[in-house]
Chains A and B, each alone.
Chain A
Amino acid sequence: EAQVTQNPRYLITVTGKKLTVTCSQNMNHEYMSWYRQDPGLGLRQIYYSMNVEVTDKGDVPEGYKVSRKEKRNFPLILESPSPNQTSLYFCASSLSWTGGTGELFFGEGSRLTVL
């Protein structure tokens, strides 16, 4: 089944404790992206990757890091989480950076709480 898989789905952590949210897609998609969703603000882009080893900042990259060493994986790293990073996070992928439809395939989401 074609899908985007995120882990963990739920996580409660404390300020400053490094964490990684993994994202994996099995559709051989070139493009991957991370979003955070907060009430009333919709989805805001954190980072995106056009292909392996190519990443760039989105609208709200502060406090986050990403890497794209393999095509299928795009982990989101919070080096020193803070309470304002409490949010619902979504990973998404698309066939290519340019061309085709703009359809994004989303994971199920990861709800992160930073105390």
Chain B
Amino acid sequence: GESVGLHLPTLSVQEGDNSIINCAYSNSASDYFIWYKQESGKGPQFIIDIRSNMDKRQGQRVTVLLNKTVKHLSLQIAATQPGDSAVYFCAERRNYGQNFVFGPGTRLSVLP
């Protein structure tokens, strides 16, 4: 069945360093992926998305990489800041519509 998971449940990085959050997915037919950020006490917020016909997509300080060969997705955050501390989820679209399968999340802690 479908599953979306994260390799590391927690990640601690020094302020100013780059962060890499990983995600594995199992459905090779998935065509669309999203990363969400969830700050404490809030709902998830969209960060960046990528379609399966792309390998890389860049936003402001964030980059998503998609490796379809090994069914792996990663989120890179450049120059990590204290405000980046949050739980990050990857989400994989099912084979239709707007229904997504979410991973369990990775908690990113930024150390001063």
Q: Which residues of A approach B to under 8 Å, CB–CB?
A: 4, 31, 33, 35, 40-45, 48, 50, 58, 90, 92, 94, 96-98, 101-109
Contact = CB atoms under 8 A, between A and B. Distances in A.
A109 B43 CA distance: 6
Contacts of A108: 41-43
Given A90-B44, A108-B42, A108-B43, A102 B93 contact: yes
Interface of B: 4, 9, 32, 34, 36, 41-46, 49, 89, 91, 93, 97-100, 102-105
Contact of B34 (A48, A50, A103): A103
Contacts of A94: 98
By CB atoms of chain A within 10 A, which of B45, B46, B99 has the most? Answer: B99
13 contacts: A42-B102, A45-B100, A48-B98, A50-B97, A90-B43, A90-B44, A98-B97, A102-B93, A102-B98, A104-B34, A106-B45, A107-B43, A109-B42
A105 B89 CA distance: 14
A40 B98 CA distance: 23
A92 B41 CA distance: 15
Contacts of A102: 32, 34, 49, 91, 93, 98, 100
Nearest to B43: A106
A104 B102 contact: no
Contact of B49 (A58, A98, A103): A103
A104 B104 contact: no
A97 B98 CA distance: 6
B89 A33 contact: no
Given A35-B102, A102-B93, A105-B46, 16 more contacts: A33-B99, A42-B105, A43-B89, A43-B102, A44-B102, A45-B99, A48-B99, A50-B97, A90-B44, A101-B49, A103-B46, A104-B36, A104-B46, A104-B98, A108-B42, A109-B43
